[in-house]
Structure 1
Amino acid sequence: MRGNKFTYTTVLAAHVALGIAVFAAPLLSKVYGFLVLIMGTVLLLNTKNKNNEALVLAAYAVGSEVLLRMTGGNLVHEIGKYEVLYFLILGMFYTGFSKRSWIYLFFIMLLVPGVYIGATTMLDGVNVRKAIMFNILGELTLGISAIYCYQRKVTLEQMQYIIKALALPLVSVLVYLFLYTPSIKDVVTGTQSNFETSGGFGPNQVSTVLGLGMFCFLALLMMYSKTRKEQLVHLGLLLIASYRGIVTFSRGGVFTALAMMAVFFFTLFWFAKLRTRNFILRLVLIGFVLGSLVWSYSVIQTGGLIENRYANQDARGREKEDSLGGREQIAGTEIQMFMDNPIWGIGVGNNKGYREQLTGIVAASHNEITRLLAEHGAFGIVALLILIVTPLFLYINNKAHLFLVSFYIFWALTINHAAMRIAAPAFVYALALLNVQVTNDDKNTLHREPSVPPQTE
């Protein structure tokens, strides 16, 4: 047991060092990205996916995607999604998949007509392959991830390795962000999403992964912290991720994290015994206090501008005309595209060009729901219904999956403000389809109270 704890501490320290290294020498980011792929392949070939190593490796690829993007470490821009596909397909080669996952094979087939229409009607001057892959790769990643995860049995204790794999690269992201912008006061001048506080990368995507990190660190704190030291580390990471998520000035990731955490607390409360319920209520109260302190610190560091941002005001305190940064208008054009082409849609990859012709606005979609409708028409409606209904149907007989609803909410909220620009919403959606089993060790995990001092070994 001591060896395991030491190993986890060492891995955490290694990811702190990684954040420092890629900031000091950006070339190391490419080395890191290459090693993730090579070492993951070696591990999977050696283990033959006996313990769902493919799932852990895919989770790590998801967690490292934004780190690699912000530090220039990607060999290919969308390599995070390609790695998820690669690890999971290789994993299925060894351990197969459920025959009942045919529903997600059908989901993938529903996308084919839109791809064909897009490929044959693309505007002149547009790179057809790039346009189609940019717009379809997120759905393809979701479909393959869902086929792998559908009713695949994992224990509640094994879920910790998936969550840790998602969270560990985000430790490096946090270190990098602090090195990139040590003083928030010096770079915040308005209420728009801030690239400087987001490591020079897209605030929306950074906010999204930090929001996911907030939930992961909370889950590790509540469920899988076996010592006081681990509790303090996870609590500290939760608070730091919350602060850095807030000061990106991109609200979507923070709101999504709060929704995930609220549902997680409710789920734990619902299934807990009376004594544990009282303990959970105390934790919620403590959470409000700590959250208020993080918010207050953020207000001080931003000179009060973060309050304006969340109140939908500009730097002078004036109400903004739109509350979602123009996303309403973009989504509106996509609904119009669907109304004009309700059966077949306009085709994958035509969204941006069609919008420019329709309104003069040059912008990519931020909403995966309206984009599905616009590009796939009636086929998009059926595909969307599959995505919405299936996890909820599975939950009826999968109550041991304590994270299911939170994962589902992450997908549902994220695709409404950040589409599927990164692999996280596609992969996390698939995690909601896992069939979580409770063992005797898992029961001990469920009843452990994180603030109870660890026993002497």
Structure 2
Amino acid sequence: MIIFFGMLFVYNTKNTKNEVLIVSAYLISIEVLMRMTGDMFFNEFAKYGVILFMIMGMFFSGFSKNSLPYWFFLLLLIPGVILSTVTLSLEADIRKAIAFNIAGPVCLGIASIYCYRRRITFAEINAIIIAFAMPLVSLLTYLFMYNPSVRDVVTGTSSNFATSGGFGPNQVSTILGLGMFVFFALFLLNSKSKFLFGVHALLTMAATYRGLVTFSRGGVYTGILMIIVFLIVVYLTSNKNTKARVGGIAGITVLFAVLVWGYSSYQTNGLIEKRYANQDAIGRVKEDKLGGRERIAISEIQMFLDNPLLGIGVGKNKEYREETTGIVAASHNEITRMLAEHGSLGIAALLILLATPLILYLDNKANIYVLPFFIFWLLTINHAAMRTAAPAFVYALSLLKVYTNEKPSLHRE
């Protein structure tokens, strides 16, 4: 229904106000909730949905002829796909192995081609932020109903499936980290009444609390850094009077953060403090700081060193790691995965992704969301790879070009 009505919405509007970005943002935010409740037709459903919407958007609105870096990025992925048809074992499901690892980068590339220097207004960006927010309200509601009493299910400092709606804590933490930022952006820039000011503040605190009690740290760290950078960017681009308001809101934000942390500590009997100090339930410091991810990343770096030219092929890293180290686990880090599976071509692809948004930002300071969006992508792919479509799509949003003189307002009635 999301795909059907999304396509109908875009068709009826002819994408005159970048409606494909609105429906894609909605799909991105609801993906984890759909996975929690078993509503996904297949694992990469959201990524293919975003690709479909982006192609529709290009059909109605075209794309920039200067988006060549991302066409080149997509071309760099092809040799790794071809190589995998040779290197994957006969027992492997080649289609699934390739799709699991390549759908995210392809989604990113196509979304980036659509978004590259696309002219957009602040009103349209706000519509995208609201589209992100709506399914996240549903997600928070589900989490509170699925697990109303955190105190009853937290007994250790490992990632907790019960507090994560019965689904993977890492992915839930990731989308809640994005939720922390989305609700905070609405709190800061789109609270036109005291009522909305309060609603957005409560939603920001609720997303932070539920993110913390997943006991998966990556998404929370990402959300916090996005908020800090966003505050700095808004402060630096504001006039003198607005800077005073931003400073006041920053103070309120710190107070809210202390309250949420204190409540989380109370509900978890202090275990959340041990988790963020990398300790077990009785206070011993864990030798493994990243939940085993460092061993997986090291094995992928070794794969790159052994196969530096073209890598080992898309989807081969899990098999190769099991054969050489005995570790049975999929990659959590998109950077080391790209190195392992694409070799030197992976380095070139990563350089395109890292450099392009930052270069464009030099001439796009009016888009105050560029750096937070870029940070979300960069940090997320380091702890959750591209398991969900969120990092791919959010990265593409950092390429949008704000063209009006309209300024974000902190006015409240």
Q: Same fold (TM over 0.5)?
A: yes
Corresponding position of 1:412: 378
Distance in 2 separating the partners of 1:181 and 1:447: 37
Distance 1:225 1:288 in 2: 18
Runs of 4 or more above 4 Å deviation: none
- 5 Å matches for 1:155-166? 155-166=121-132
Q: Which residue of 2 aligns with 1:6?
A: none
State the secondary structure of the residue aligned to 1:99. coil
Q: Note if 1:397 corresponds to 2:363.
A: yes
Tell me, yes or no, if structure 1 residue 329 matches structure 2 residue 295. Answer: yes
> Which one-letter code corresponds to 1:338 in the other structure?
F
Which position in structure 2 is the counterpart of 1:23?
A: none
Unaligned runs of 5+ in 2: none
Indicate whether 1:238 and 2:204 are aligned.
Answer: yes
Q: Is the 8 A contact 2:18 2:124 kept in 1?
A: no
**Partner residue, 1:107:** 73
Structure 2 CA distance, aligned partners of 1:393 and 1:136?
A: 26
> Which residue of the partner structure matches residue 20 of structure 1?
none
Specify the code of the residue in structure 1 equivalent to 2:102: I
Matched position secondary structure for 1:316? coil
How far has the Cα of 1:363 moved from its partner?
A: 0.3
Could you tell me which residue of structure 2 aligns to residue 448 of structure 1? Answer: 410
* One-letter amino acid of the counterpart of residue 331, structure 2: S
Matched, 1:280 2:246: yes
Residues 1:61 and 2:23 aligned together: no
Question: What amino acid is the match of 1:448?
Answer: L
1:358 aligns with 2:324: yes
Q: How far apart are residue 115 of structure 1 and its match?
A: 0.4
CA distance in 1, matches of 2:404, 2:213: 39
The two structures have a TM-score, normalised by structure 1, of: 0.89
Residue 200 of structure 1 aligns to a residue in which SS? coil
TM-score of the aligned structures, taking structure 2 as reference length: 0.99
Distance 1:272 1:102 in 2: 34
Q: Which residue of 1 aligns with 2:341?
A: 375
Structure 1 equivalent of residue 189 of structure 2: 223
CA distance in structure 1 between the partners assigned to 2:113 and 2:85 by the alignment: 26
Structure 2 matches for 1:282-321, cutoff 5 A? Answer: 282-321=248-287
* Structure 1 position 124, deviation (Å): 2.2
Q: Deviations over 1:398-448 (max 9, x none)?
A: 000000000000000000000000000000000000001234xx33xx242
Q: Distance in 1 between matches of 2:41 and 2:350?
A: 32
2:81 paired with 1:119: no
Going from structure 1 to structure 2, the CA distance change for 1:97 and 1:232 (only over 3 Å counts) comes to same
The yes-or-no answer on 1:47 pairing with 2:13 is yes
Residue matched to 2:63: 97
- Counterparts of 2:184 and 2:409 in 1: how far apart (Å)? 16
How far has the Cα of 1:121 moved from its partner?
1.3
Task: Provide, for residues 357-406 of structure 1, a one-character-per-residue CA deviation record: whole Å limited to 9, x for no partner.
Answer: 11000000000000000000000000000000000000010000000000
Residues 1:150 and 2:112 are matched in the alignment = no
Alignment of 1:189 with 2:155, yes or no, is: yes
Aligned pairs, number: 413
CA distance in 2, matches of 1:148, 1:416: 25
